């Protein structure tokens, strides 16, 4: 049909309606993307090694503030400032630690382009992500919660840059524990979404008891319930797998059924002899009769083993029976009705 026809337009509209619209990005994701785009120009600014100690400035000190001079930091990085240089007087922190502590996403972007390590740890074992979650950004004049959003943006940026989410410092704390203690609700959600674990190696660290914030406690409780549900599902699947009947090959099952049928046929054939000899032994109770009965039982068992051996020829079975009974009757003296039963059984194979 022509492209401009009403039917073609209706078909195109239905096709577009059937395609699911993508999820719109959140405000935090838009903010982080905006900051990345804003400082994309620094990629070609000439940062990085070789580094120089004489770069005319103090990079860690310039980053250790709420309001850094971005142009000054840019100049120091161009002159060879090392973003991983440590401040020995402050537990070996780096400029990356300070930028994360004050929520300076733009500075973190510059430091990363210059070779800054987002997973570097100070002498306390704390990483920049731990610093971003450890120190809450609060101010009395921050009525709109802008500092809290700034801190959450920093956590998201560090996670996107490859920060390890479960590194434990020397105090037994992880970024998740620090975020719970600082009351960083959005940060807790971001860390859990990134795969942060609730279990810790230090038993005295209690995730649920480390915060009194009801929102964070509800988030953690929901995560605990999810983990327990997954563990129960795995346990049920494991138990079901252990109790499941093994799959038997049809050919093997047919062979087993044939074997059971042969056993039943042999038992039915030798049942009269066994019943008669057993009753005779019960009535007489003498040693000689007991020996004769035992001998007859032995021969009946031999006959049964012959029947269950598979495809034995009838001639071979008749020869075995005659050899056992001396040609006609049992070659031992047993009760007359026992001999008659044995003879009747032999007649079936003649």
Tell me the per-residue pLDDT of 214-262, one tens digit each, with 9 for 90 and over: 999 899 888 888 888 998 999 998 888 777 666 677 888 888 888 888 8
Query: What one-character-per-residue DSSP string does 188-211 give?
Result: HHHHHHTT--S--S-TT--TTTS-
Tell me the per-residue pLDDT of 265-297, one tens digit each, with 9 for 90 and over: 777 777 766 666 666 555 555 555 556 666 667
pLDDT of residue 73: 93
Query: What's the pLDDT band for 337 if we cut at 50, 70, 90?
Result: very low
Query: What's the pLDDT band for 20 if we cut at 50, 70, 90?
Result: low
pLDDT of residue 130: 96
Tell me the per-residue pLDDT of 166-188, one tens digit each, with 9 for 90 and over: 999 998 889 999 999 888 999 99
Q: What's the rounded mean pLDDT across residues 98-107?
A: 94
pLDDT of residue 84: 95
CA distances from 321 to 265, 286, 330, 346 (A): 16, 27, 10, 7
State how far the Cα of 107 lies from the Cα of 93, in Å rounded to an integer: 16
Query: What's the pLDDT band for 213 if we cut at 50, 70, 90?
Result: confident
Residue 37: count of CB within 10 angstroms of its CB: 9
Q: What's the rounded mean pLDDT across residues 86-99?
A: 95
pLDDT of residue 329: 42
pLDDT of residue 253: 82
- What pTM was computed for the model? 0.58
Backbone angles phi and psi of 12, in degrees to 5: -65, -40
Residue 59 has pLDDT above 70, yes or no: yes
Average pLDDT, the chain: 76
State how far the Cα of 152 lies from the Cα of 133, in Å rounded to an integer: 9
Domains within the chain, CATH numbers bracketed: 27-228 (1.25.40.20)
Backbone angles phi and psi of 186, in degrees to 5: -65, -35
Query: What's the pLDDT band for 50 if we cut at 50, 70, 90?
Result: confident
Q: Which two tokens stand for residue 285?
A: 């109770």
């Amino acid at each position: 049909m022509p492209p401009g026809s009403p039917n073609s337009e209706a078909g195109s509209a239905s096709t577009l309606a059937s395609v699911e619209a993508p999820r719109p990005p959140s405000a935090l994701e838009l903010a982080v993307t905006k900051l990345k785009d804003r400082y994309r120009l620094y990629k070609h600014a000439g940062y990085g090694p070789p580094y120089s100690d004489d770069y005319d400035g103090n990079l860690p000190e310039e980053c250790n503030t709420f309001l850094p001079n971005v142009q000054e930091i840019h100049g120091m990085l161009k002159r060879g400032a090392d973003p991983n240089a440590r401040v020995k007087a402050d537990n070996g922190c780096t400029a990356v630690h300070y930028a994360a502590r004050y929520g300076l996403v733009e500075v973190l972007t510059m430091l990363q382009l210059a070779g800054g390590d987002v997973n570097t740890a100070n002498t306390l074992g704390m990483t920049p992500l731990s610093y971003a979650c450890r120190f809450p950004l609060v101010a009395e004049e921050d009525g709109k919660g802008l500092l809290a959003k700034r801190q959450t943006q920093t956590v998201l940026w560090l996670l996107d840059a490859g920060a390890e989410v479960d590194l434990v410092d020397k105090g037994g704390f992880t970024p998740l524990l620090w975020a719970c203690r600082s009351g960083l609700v959005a940060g807790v959600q971001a860390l859990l979404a990134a795969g942060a674990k609730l279990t810790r190696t230090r038993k005295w660290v209690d995730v649920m008891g480390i915060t009194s914030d009801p929102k964070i406690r509800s988030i953690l409780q929901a995560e605990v319930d999810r983990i327990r549900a997954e563990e129960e599902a795995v346990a049920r699947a494991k138990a079901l797998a252990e109790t499941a009947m093994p799959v038997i090959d049809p050919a093997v099952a047919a062979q087993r059924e044939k074997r059971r049928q042969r056993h039943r046929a042999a038992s039915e054939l030798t049942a009269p002899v066994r019943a008669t000899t057993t009753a005779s032994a019960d009535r007489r109770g003498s040693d000689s009769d007991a020996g004769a009965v035992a001998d007859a039982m032995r021969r009946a068992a031999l006959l049964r083993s012959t029947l269950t051996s598979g495809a034995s020829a009838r001639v071979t079975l008749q020869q075995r029976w005659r050899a056992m009974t001396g040609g006609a009757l049992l070659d031992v003296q047993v009760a007359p009705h026992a001999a008659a039963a044995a003879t009747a059984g032999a007649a079936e194979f003649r």
